[in-house]
C-alpha cells in the first residue's frame, strides 16, 4: 500500500480528492496539509480513519517547536516522513508550483491539480527543472497533472467513438456557457474572487474544456491545434479580468473549428464538444454522447447511437491512474505535464489574442 498525503483542504479536496483516495485500496491516507490549522482539522474530521494534520505555523510557534517545545507541523515535516510516498496537491493556482517542486525534491510522487501553472512560462520553467532533476537521479518520482475531464466517462466514450467512426477531420466546435453566481462556493474563495493570474475563471475552469476538445481532436487522426484567433469580453464586472472568449482554432492539418467559453452569460447554459469527420460526427455533452454516421437508403446522415451518462467527476479514475503510475514508475499518458501544458498554451493563446483584438497566435 502507498502512503499518501492530501495537500489542500478546500472545496475540491474535500468533495472529490478525499473520497477518491479513500476509495482506492492501494492508497492509505496518512496526512492532510492546509495553510490553516482549522481547515486541516475540519477535513481530517471527514476522513474515515485517523490522519495527521499539518499546517502553516506562525513564526513564533515555529521557533518554539524548533526549540523542542512542540511538534513540527510544517509542510517540510510532512515531506520528511518515510511512510508517505506520494501527495495530491490541491492548492490555489499561484501556490502550487513551489509546493510541487518541494514535494518532488523530497522524493514524493505528485498528482497536482490543473492548471499546471498560472502561465506557460512558469509551467515550462517547472517542467524543465523536473526533467533535469529526473535525468540525474536514480529514483524518479512521478509527476502527474490532474485533469479529471480526460477521465470523464462521456469523454472517454466519445474518444473511442471518434476512432471507431474514422475519416478525416472536417471541423469541430466547443461551446461551454454558464454563469458563476454570487452564491457559488467556488466564487466565494478569496483567491478566485480577486484573481492575481490571467483569465480568472477562464484559466481556472477553462482548461477543463480545452482538455476535452484536445482529447477528442487527438482521436481524429492525432490532430492538434497550431494556430488561433480570439475575441474576449468581461460580461460580469465581478469576474475580472475577462469571463468570456470566442475563438477560431486551426489544426496542424489546416482544419478550422471554434471554441467558445463563458462563465458570465446568464441566459445561455450548457456544454457541447463535437468533432466532425468525412465519415460522421461525435457530439459530447455532460450527460450524452451522440454518434452520427452515413446510412439509410440515400446514404445521408443517420443517428446510429446515443449513450446517456450519469454524473461522474472522473476524479476517482484519475487517482487510480496515478496509483497505477506509481506502481509501474511511469506517468499515465493522459496525466503528463506536457498534456497539461498544451491545454494551457491554447487557453493562454485565446486570452492573449482576445486582449490584442484578435491577433493571430501560433501554438508551439
145: which 3 cell numbers? Answer: 497533472
**Contact by Cβ (8 Å): 96, 119:** no
CATH number, domain with residue 71: 3.40.50.720
Q: Are residues 321 and 211 in the same domain?
A: no
SS3 assignment, position 136: coil
262 and 131 in one domain? no
Establish if 29 belongs to a structural domain.
yes
pLDDT digits (tens, 9 = 90+) for 193-250: 889 999 999 999 999 999 999 999 999 999 999 999 999 999 999 999 999 999 999 9
30-39 confidence digits (pLDDT tens): 999 999 999 9
Q: What pLDDT score does 186 carry?
A: 87
Q: Does a structural domain hold residue 339? A: no
Residue 66: the pLDDT is 46
| 40 and 109 belong to one structural domain | yes
Cα separation, 308 vs 301, whole angstroms: 21
The enclosing H or E element of 78 equals helix 75-79
| Pair 235, 198 in one domain | yes
Q: Cell numbers at residue 304, please? A: 446510429
Q: Which residues of the chain have pLDDT under 70?
A: 58-70, 137-138, 296-299
Instruction: For residues 88 and 216, state if they share a domain.
Output: no
pLDDT for 330: 93
134 and 188 share a domain? no
Tell me what pLDDT residue 37 has.
93
* 215 shares its domain with 85: no
93 within domain boundaries: yes
307 φ, ψ (degrees, to nearest 5) = -120, 125
Strands 280-284 and 288-294, bridge-based pairing: antiparallel
Indicate whether 169 belongs to any domain. Answer: yes
Quick one: pLDDT at residue 134?
75
Q: Residues 198, 132: one domain?
A: no
pLDDT for position 298: 67
DSSP 3-state percent helix, strand, coil across the chain (nearest 5): 40, 25, 35
Q: Give the CATH number for residue 180.
A: 3.30.360.10
Whether residue 202 sits in one domain with residue 188 = yes
**Domain membership of residue 162 as a residue range:** 150-313+344-362
Say if residue 305 is in the same domain as residue 173: yes
Same domain for 154 and 239, yes or no, is yes
Q: Identify which of 179, 193, 279, 185 has the alpha carbon closest to the alpha carbon of residue 235.
A: 179
pLDDT at 231: 98
- pLDDT of amino acid 67: 46
Domain count of the fold of the chain: 2
Amino acid at each position: 500500500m502507498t502512503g499518501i498525503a492530501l495537500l489542500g483542504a478546500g472545496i475540491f479536496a474535500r468533495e472529490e480528492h478525499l473520497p477518491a483516495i479513500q476509495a482506492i485500496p492501494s492508497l492509505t491516507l496518512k496526512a492532510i496539509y492546509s495553510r490553516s490549522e482549522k481547515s486541516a482539522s475540519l477535513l481530517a474530521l471527514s476522513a474515515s480513519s485517523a490522519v495527521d494534520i499539518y499546517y502553516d505555523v506562525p513564526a513564533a510557534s515555529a521557533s518554539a517547536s524548533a526549540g523542542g517545545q512542540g511538534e513540527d507541523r510544517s509542510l517540510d515535516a510532512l515531506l520528511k516522513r518515510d511512510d508517505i510516498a506520494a501527495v495530491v496537491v490541491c492548492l490555489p493556482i499561484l501556490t502550487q508550483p513551489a509546493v510541487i517542486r518541494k514535494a518532488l525534491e523530497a522524493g514524493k510522487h505528485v498528482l497536482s491539480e490543473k492548471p499546471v501553472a498560472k502561465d506557460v512560462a512558469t509551467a515550462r520553467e517547472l517542467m524543465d527543472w523536473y526533467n533535469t532533476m529526473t535525468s540525474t537521479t536514480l529514483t524518479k518520482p512521478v509527476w502527474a497533472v490532474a485533469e479529471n475531464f480526460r477521465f470523464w466517462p462521456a469523454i472517454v466514450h466519445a474518444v473511442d467513438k471518434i476512432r471507431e467512426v474514422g475519416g478525416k477531420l472536417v471541423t469541430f466546435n466547443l461551446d461551454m456557457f454558464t454563469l458563476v453566481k454570487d452564491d457559488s462556493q467556488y466564487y466565494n474563495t478569496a483567491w478566485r474572487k480577486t484573481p492575481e493570474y490571467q483569465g480568472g475563471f477562464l484559466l481556472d475552469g477553462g482548461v477543463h474544456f480545452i482538455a476535452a476538445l484536445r482529447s477528442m481532436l487527438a482521436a481524429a487522426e492525432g490532430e492538434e491545434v497550431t494556430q488561433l484567433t480570439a475575441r474576449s469580453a468581461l460580461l460580469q464586472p465581478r469576474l475580472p479580468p475577462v469571463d468570456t472568449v470566442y475563438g477560431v482554432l486551426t489544426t496542424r492539418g489546416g482544419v478550422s473549428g471554434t471554441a467558445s467559453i463563458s462563465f458570465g452569460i446568464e441566459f445561455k447554459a450548457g456544454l457541447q464538444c463535437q468533432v466532425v469527420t468525412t465519415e460522421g460526427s461525435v457530439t459530447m455533452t455532460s450527460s450524452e454522447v451522440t454518434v452520427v454516421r452515413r446510412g439509410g437508403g440515400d446514404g445521408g446522415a443517420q443517428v446510429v447511437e446515443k449513450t446517456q451518462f450519469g454524473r461522474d467527476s472522473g476524479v476517482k479514475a484519475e487517482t487510480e491512474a496515478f496509483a497505477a503510475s506509481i506502481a509501474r514508475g511511469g506517468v499515465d499518458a493522459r496525466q503528463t505535464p506536457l498534456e497539461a501544458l498544451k491545454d494551457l498554451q491554447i487557453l493562454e493563446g485565446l486570452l492573449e489574442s482576445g486582449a490584442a483584438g484578435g491577433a493571430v497566435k501560433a501554438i508551439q
